[in-house]
Structure 1
Amino acid sequence: MRKLIHKASLSQAKEYSVALGNSIRLWKSFWRMDVPLPARNVWFRLIHGKLPATSNLHKIIPSFSSFCRLCNRGSPSETTCHFLIDCRKKYIAWKLIWAHFFPLSPWSRHALLQAILHLNFPQQNSVQSLDSSSIFGCSLLMIWKTHWRFIFDSTPFVPTLVLQEAIRVVQSLVPPRTDNLTSP
């Protein structure tokens, strides 16, 4: 059983390890990003292909279904990419997040993957005073949390609510403005 688990995790890791690869510069950038710790954890697991997507769990426990529970029975296998991006409702959530935070950059799945897997972030709205990495980290975290609320609490996965939560968490990272304060 241990060999089976190791083999499954190796095949998944090879698929995603090309993301940041052995680039010291990209890994240093990753560790310097101003991202909440739980978001960094999810992001790190994504890069290494270690998310608990059902297809990964199915390799370890064959009796465990590999289908996406959010998409229902006739759905595709829930790969790591499907788990956070390609699932229909998560894809919609990403499009909403992109439109809100990056209206100057055209949306595409490729551009999203470039940002998440290669730290090649789009141009953001000049009004934002936060790094794009923080926005992506908070968005990943909200999609992650909403997914698990659906699994464990049967809370519906609503893309507009994911956007609202992502906005709330991102705003909590923005330092308060001091230009309106009056001096004594």
Structure 2
Amino acid sequence: MSIETQEHFLLSCPLKSAVWLGIWLEFFGTVPPPSALSSAFTSFLFPPTLNPSMTAASVFGLTILAIWDHHWALHFNSAPFLPSLVLATARKSISRLCSELELDSADSSLA
């Protein structure tokens, strides 16, 4: 049994790389250069999002949460780690956060 490294868990696993590619294309509008993901994790250097109301840090954080959830579902429940399902989970969380931010914005403008 091998020990999973942080680099593999977050970035270099082909299944997780597919998740990051999908997120990057959808929320940043480009294919990520190899150094961009590493810089995001090590230096908190994020590109701007296509939706200015959503911060890049939130997109990254919610994507990590989705990866983490599906990673442990694989190990504890034998659920397959499918990038399409991870992307759907991340999108749902990001969409929920966007909706909450819009509600907060609407509430503060009424006050």
TM-score interval (norm. to shorter) = 0.7 to 0.9
Partner of 1:109: 34
* Matching residue of 2:47: 122
Counterpart position of 2:2: 66
Shift of 1:176: 2.8
> Quick check: which has more Rg, 1 or 2?
1
Partner of 2:58: 134
Q: Is the 8 A contact 2:48 2:55 kept in 1?
A: no
Structure 1: 5+ residue stretches without partners: 1-64, 68-77
State which of 21, 28, 38 in structure 2 corresponds to 1:95. 21
For the residues of structure 2 that align with 1:170 and 1:124, how far apart are their CA atoms? Answer: 12
Between the aligned partners of 1:128 and 1:144, the Cα distance in structure 2 is: 26
Cα distance in structure 2, aligned partners of 1:170 and 1:152? 25
RMSD: 1.9
The TM-score, its normalising length taken from structure 2, stands at 0.84
TM-score, length-scaled by structure 1: 0.52
CA shift for structure 1 position 147: 0.4
Identity of aligned residues (%): 36
Paired with 1:84 and 1:114, the residues of 2 have a C-alpha distance of 13
